[in-house]
Amino acid sequence: MATFAYKAIGAGGAISEGNLQAEGRHDAFRQIEAKGLRPIHLTEQKTEAEAAAASGPVLSFKSNKVSARMLEDFTRSLSSLLSAGIPLSRALVILCKEAASPAAGAAWKKVHDLVIDGMSLADAMAQSPQIFPRVYTAMVEAGETGGFLDVVLAQIAEFQAREKELRAKVTTAMLYPAILLVLATGVLIFLLVFFIPRFQLIFAGFGADLPLITQIIIGISHTIRAYGVFVAIGLGLGIYSLRNWMASPQGSRIWEGILLRAPGIGPLVAKFAMARFCRMLGTLLGAGVPLIKGLNVARRSLGNQTLVDTVTTTIDRVQKGEALGASLINCGQLFTGTAREMISVAEESGRLDQELVRLANVTEADLDRQLKTAVAFAEPLMLFFIAGFIGTIFIGMVIPIFSIQDHIK
């Protein structure tokens, strides 16, 4: 349990402050809202040991970027202020003063200045795409157009929290295999650069013919020692060029198509995109955004151009008057037949927003189980490959020892 200090707005518009015990930031926000308050600022209090450590002679490397947590707090706080009846310009001034870092304060002030100059909030946020993603500004635009900006901002904050939680699960699941890969690479480089050359001197002293596998291993070792710097530079340039190519529209489309067709990875990518799409669309519909507008916004959250193209076809069919469930028939990579039937039934009963959010929850839970299974399978597989590489080097070095013994005899 951690201690949090909060500042919130009451029903009468009065500012109240206090402390509470919570398991995390999301739990703290829920406790504040349960008291009938609207949070505008929340900070975690450090223990005495942490405060002493922070005040000691420790170098500080603060980032000048606005983090995802800062953006989430800003979104939630702005929603609370607008719901309390505070004008947008004044709410932005309050958030500038309560900013968690100078970078965040400058970003909120830039938005405030543009809004004061007559620009809409969505357009003002769009001037800083490195802070406010396109999906974010599209949702804000939908809220401004419909007149329920505070509701949409609250939904965005909740969506950001869910998104961050899902990404954290993926990162945590891939952490151990990544560590194994780094360790394996380090061991292989050590064997090839420092271990193999010493055996090579022994073999050269006897003048015996070496087996092919040993010659290959020694050749790789010699290449790394002689041209390792050039190989590293070449790999670096190759990775840089690959990233630039993947950032281009054509390269991004090709790469995303390869990911979707990849065995094992493709279904996970599609499920992740489907969960984001359903949660985004359900959130927007629940906030009162029209279906076509919600589909156009949710389409941007897919993150895969191939899937975006299929959903675009669906939107065209919905605009012509078809039901959403029937229009999703061409989105087989995203929605199974069962999911389409559920959406059709929910659409007929007027519960489409709730069903989409429920589908997102079910898909995320299933995705979490699949990730755990994939990681559980990946760990022994990586250990097998590590043992195979090291074992091959060991065998390649041991086999010549027997031929050397024969040569001595």
State the CATH class of domain 2-45+66-147.
mainly alpha
Structure confidence at residue 408 (pLDDT): 55
Structure confidence at residue 61 (pLDDT): 39
- What are the tokens at 238? 């190759």
Cα–Cα distance between 341 and 326 in angstroms, integer? 8
Give the amino acid at 130.
Answer: Q
Cα–Cα distance between 54 and 95 in angstroms, integer? 25
Long-range contacts of 149-154 (CB under 8 A, 24+ apart): 149/82, 149/88, 149/121, 150/79, 150/82, 150/83, 151/79, 151/287, 151/288, 152/284, 152/287, 152/289, 153/75, 153/76, 153/78, 153/79, 153/82, 154/76, 154/79, 154/80, 154/83
Structure confidence at residue 64 (pLDDT): 61
The reply to whether 148-409 shares the fold of 2-45+66-147 is yes
Which residue in the block uniquely carries the two structure tokens 């489409």? Answer: 352
Over the chain (409 residues), the average pLDDT of each successive run of 10 is 76 74 74 76 61 42 69 87 86 86 87 87 88 82 78 80 74 76 80 74 64 79 81 88 84 81 80 82 81 83 76 86 84 82 88 88 83 76 80 76 61
- Packing angle between helix 102-116 and helix 68-83, nearest 10 degrees? 40
Structure confidence at residue 237 (pLDDT): 92
Q: Which residues contact 94 (CB under 8 A, 6 or more apart)?
A: 40, 81, 86
Question: What are the residue ranges spanned by the domains of the chain?
Answer: 2-45+66-147, 148-409
Contact 160, 68 (CB under 8 A): yes
Structure confidence at residue 208 (pLDDT): 58
Cα–Cα distance between 94 and 98 in angstroms, integer? 6
Architecture of domain 148-409: Up-down Bundle (1.20)
Structure confidence at residue 330 (pLDDT): 78
Angstrom distances, CA of residue 280 to CA of 229, 285, 331, 354, 407: 47, 9, 17, 12, 73
